[in-house]
Amino acid sequence: MTQRLHLVFGGELISPSGTVFKDPAAIHIVGMFPDYASAHRAWKAEAQRTVDDAHMRYFIAHIHRLRDEEHPASATEELGA
């Protein structure tokens, strides 16, 4: 069975129109989730909690896409090769 992990994280951006974090060391890691539905609930809760701050943004990263066991070389392996 394929495991589909999702990481929810966020923080303060330099500009509300971009995706560059002001301080990458201060990124808030909400957590790792076993499915998109639970990751989306966590993302939504953090996004709503910080809705009044235009510079705060949260994201869902599809961690399972970094390592595709069915292909001999995932995108991550290609970066290191």
Give me the number of domains the chain comprises: 1
Read off the CATH number of the domain in which 69 is found: 3.30.70.2400
According to the model, what pLDDT value does residue 70 have? Answer: 63
Q: Which domain holds residue 28?
A: 6-80
62 assigned to some structural domain:
yes
Query: Does residue 22 lie within any of the structural domains?
Result: yes
Query: Is residue 47 domain-resident?
Result: yes
Is 43 a domain residue?
A: yes
Measure the CA–CA gap between 51 and 7, rounded to whole angstroms. Answer: 20
Specify the pLDDT at position 3. 77
pLDDT at 68: 61
pTM: 0.78
Whether 1 is covered by a domain: the verdict is no
DSSP annotation of 11 reads E
Q: What are phi and psi of 73, to 5 degrees?
A: -130, 110
- Give the separation between CA 68 and CA 74, rounded to whole angstroms: 6
Print pLDDT tens along the chain (81 aa).
Answer: 667 899 999 999 999 999 999 999 999 999 999 999 999 999 999 999 999 999 999 999 998 777 666 655 555 455 444
Contact 24, 38 (CB under 8 A): no
With contact defined as beta carbons under 8 Å apart, do 37 and 4 qualify? no
CA distance 18 to 5: 25
